[in-house]
Amino acid sequence: MTITHSVPASPGDSSPGDAGVRSPRDEIARFAHPLTRMLLASDGFTMPVLEAILRTELEVRVLRQDDVAAGRMPATVTDALQVSGSDRVIVRRSCLIDPDMVTVSVNHVVTVSGPAAATGVDDVQMPIGYSLVSRGVSQRRQVLRAGVARWPDGRLCATKAYIITLADRPLCYIRESFNPDVIPPAGAHLTEGDPHWADEPDTPEPTPADLTTAPRESAAAQDEPPQGSVEQLRTLPPLVDPSDCETLTADLDAAARGQAFVLHLGDGGGHLDCDTRTLAARRALIHAATAVLTHGLGTEVRVVPISHLPGRLGTLDDDGRTASDPLLETYFRAAAALNYWRGQQAPVALSGDLLREVADRFAEPATRDLMREVAGLLPLAASAPTASRELFSSITRLHISHEAPTLWYGAALTRGGPDRHWWDCSTQLVWIGDRVRNAQGRRVFAARIRNPVAVTITAATTPHEVERLCQQLNPDDRPGRLTLVARLGDERVTEWLPELIGTVAARETPVCWMCDPTALGVQAQHGGGQARIDGVTAGIREFLRVCRATGTVPGGLHLECPPGTGEFTGSGEWQVLRCVVTAMAELRAT
C-alpha cells in the first residue's frame, strides 16, 4: 500500500532561486475564492481533486516531452531537484482536458531522467501520481510557491509549483496552471513584487531563413523536355531522401489501420505561389489545422500532415538570372520551398494568430472556444528545444507531395536507394490527380518506384479500374504503398464508393482511403460561400458514414487550398478549419 506523506511549507519559506518571495501560505491567502485556496494549498494529487470539483473524469494529454541537459534549466529547478549541469532531466508539457476537450490545467514538469525511468514517471500514458501509486512508491509533496501566472490566452490564472520527493530525493518539479474559467483567480493580481516563475529551459532563438521571391510567371511545362534538361536534372542533388519516403509509407499504413489520420492540403490546381509570405501562410495553416485535429482526436490517433509543393514555376538560377527551362524552374522552385520548410521552426505565433482570427467566424461557441484553446496551447507544445523527442505534439513533421509537371521530371530525379529500389527523389508522396494528362503513363512510372502513391478516383472510376490500380501500383500488397482519394462529385458517394471499397476488400490489397470533398464546394459556388462549405462538410460526413457502413477505416482528408484566397476553388483558411472540425467531430463520434 502506498502512503502519500505531505510536507507543508513553513511560514516564510521561499522558492529556490527566488529570495524574498512571499511564502506559499501568504500567496494563497491573496485569492478570494475558497475553492482556489483549497486547490493551491492541497499537497495531494491534483487530478482527483479537479475531477471532484468538476464532477467529471479528466484525461492527460502530453503535448511534448524532451530529454535535456540540466544545465539548460534555471536555478529555480536545479536547486529544487538537487541536480547539476551534467545531469539529464526530462521536460514534459501536458494538460488535463475534460470530455468536451476543455483544457482544465496546463502543466510544466521537470523530472530527473534516471529515477524517472526507474519509477515509470516517463510513461506518457499515465499521470505521474497514479504511476507512482501503481508501483507502490512512497512519495512526499512540498508546495514551493503559489500565485498567479498567465493562461495561454493571456488572462491571469491560479498557479502553483511543488516538488515530489522519493526517499528524501527530489524526483519531479511540477508547475500547474488552472483554467480561470474553472478555478477563479479572483483577488490575486500581478504586482511588481511578483517574480517570474523562471522554470523553463533555455531555448535558443530560431535562426531566420530567407527565401528570395522570384518571378511568378513562366511557360507551362510540356511533355517533351527541353534540350539538355534531363541530363542537367540528373546531375542535381535529390530533393528528398528515400528514408523520408519510407517514413511516410509507415504513416500511411498507420492511417489505413486507424492509428493515424492524414490531412493533405493541395495547391488549388497549381496556383500556389512560391514566395516567403505564401509559404509562411501555408505552413501556418497546416500546422493550425493539424493542431486542432490532434487536440480533438487525442493520443490514440496521430495526425499526419502532408502539403503539396507549390505549383507555379519560375525561379532564379545561381547567377541570379531567370531560368528558361521549365523543368529546371520546377526543381529550383521545389528546392527553395523545401529549404524554407526545413530551415524554419514551426510558425507557432502565425498559427495561433490564424486560429484566433477565424474563431469569431464560427457560430458555435464550442468551436470558437476550441480554436482559442488550441491557439493558446501551441506555444506550450513548441517551446522545448528543437532537437527533441516529440510524443504528442501539434508541431509535427510536415510531409510533402507533388504531381510532377512531366514524366521526364520525375524520371530525371529518380535515384537508386541503399535497398536497391528506385525512388522518385523529387517528392515523398507521388500524387496522380484525376485531371492529369497522360495519367496512364504516370501510373506506369509510379509502378516502377518505391514511393507511396496517391491516386484520385471519381464516380466515373469502375471497379475494374480500381482492381487494375491495385494490381499495377501495389502488386506485392505492401502496407502504406497505395492511397485512393475519393473525389466527391455530382453523384453521391453512397452510390459508387461502397462498390469500389468492396472490390479492394475482396482483393485484400491494403489501401489508405481518403476523401476529397472539394468538388462539392465548387458545384455549389453560385449559392455563396456558406453553400460551398455546407456542401463540402456534408460530403465529409457522407464519406465517413460510408466507411462506417462498410467497415472501412477512413484514412484522411484532402483539401485544395491555396491560403488567402477565401474561395473554395482552393479552400480559404476558415473553410479548411471548418472541414477539419467536421471530420474531427465525426471521427470522435465513431
Q: Specify which residues 261 forms β-bridges with.
A: 303
Provide the pLDDT for residue 413: 87
One DSSP character per residue, 356-370 reads: HHHHTT-SSHHHHHH
**Per-residue confidence band for 297, with pLDDT thresholds at 50, 70 and 90:** confident
Cα 311 from Cα 575, distance rounded (Å): 21
Query: Best-predicted range by mean pLDDT among 182-191, 364-373, 427-436, 547-556?
Result: 547-556
Any idea which of 26-30, 129-133, 233-237, 478-482 has the lowest mean pLDDT? 129-133
Q: Is the pLDDT of residue 524 over 70?
A: no
Q: Which amino acid is at 216?
A: R
Q: Give the pLDDT confidence score for residue 427 in this predicted structure.
A: 92
> Residue 60 pLDDT more than 80?
yes
The DSSP element (H or E) to which 76 belongs, if any, is: helix 75-81
C-alpha span between 386 and 346 (Å, rounded): 10
User: Mean pLDDT, to the nearest integer, of 17-32?
Assistant: 75
Give the pLDDT confidence score for residue 221 in this predicted structure.
37
More confident residue, 460 or 309: 460
Q: What is the pLDDT of residue 410?
A: 80
Q: At residue 277, what is the residue type?
A: R
pLDDT for the residue 95: 87
**Rounded CA gap, 564 and 223, in Å?**
31
Share of the chain above pLDDT 70, in %: 76
Give the mean model confidence (pLDDT) for residues 156-167: 92
What is the arithmetic mean of pLDDT over 535-561?
91
In the predicted model, is pLDDT for residue 220 greater than 60?
no
pLDDT for 500 beyond 90: yes
Residue 140 CA to residue 44 CA, distance in Å, equals 9
Q: Which residues contact 16 (CB under 8 A, 6 or more apart)?
A: 75, 76, 79, 80, 144
Contacts of 410 (CB under 8 A, 6+ apart): 404, 424, 426, 430, 442, 445
Residues in contact with 37: Cβ distance below 8 Å, sequence separation at least 6, in sequence order? 28, 29, 31
308 Cβ contact list (under 8 Å, min separation 6): 264, 265, 266, 267, 272, 400, 401, 402, 403, 431
Contacts of 486 (CB under 8 A, 6+ apart): 457, 458, 493, 497, 500, 513, 514, 515, 516, 543
**Residue 43 near residue 8 (C-beta atoms within 8 A):** yes
Q: What angle do CA 340, 346, 349 make, to 5 degrees?
A: 120
Mean pLDDT of the chain: 79
Q: Which of 56-70, 403-417, 432-446 has the highest mean pLDDT?
A: 56-70
What is the average per-residue pLDDT within 563-582?
66
Percent of the chain topping pLDDT 90: 36
Per DSSP, what are the bridge partners of residue 242? none
Q: Which residues contact 181 (CB under 8 A, 6 or more apart)?
A: 102
Confidence of residue 161 (pLDDT cuts 50, 70, 90): very high
Amino acid letter, residue 560: E
Quickly tell me which residue has 539529464 as its cell.
88
The Cα 565–Cα 559 span in angstroms is 14
At residue 111 the predicted structure's pLDDT band, cuts being 50, 70 and 90, is very high
Name which of 510, 449, 408 is nearest 246 in CA terms: 449
Q: What is the mean pLDDT of residues 400-404?
A: 84
Rg (CA), the chain: 26
**Lowest-confidence range among 20-29, 142-151, 235-244, 439-448?**
20-29
CB 185 within 8 A of CB 31: yes
Query: Helix, strand or coil for residue 399?
Result: strand
What ranges make up the beta strands (E) of 113-155?
139-150
Residue 344 has pLDDT above 50, yes or no: yes
Contact 293/320 with Cβ under 8 angstroms? Answer: no
Helix (H) or strand (E) holding 335: helix 326-343
Cα–Cα distance for residue pair 221/314, rounded to 1 Å: 11
For the sheet with 139-150, list strands across it. 4-6, 139-150, 156-166, 169-178, 103-112, 88-97, 59-69
Q: What is the pLDDT of residues 423-449, one digit of tens each?
A: 999 999 999 987 665 677 788 889 999
Higher-pLDDT residue of 419, 291: 291
Handedness of CA 436, 440, 442, 446 (dihedral sign): positive
Enter the pTM of the model: 0.79
Pairing of strands 139-150, 103-112: unpaired
* pLDDT tier for residue 232 given thresholds of 50, 70 and 90: confident
The predicted structure's pLDDT at residue 146:
92
Decide if pLDDT at 324 tops 60: no
Alpha-carbon span 433 to 420, nearest angstrom: 28
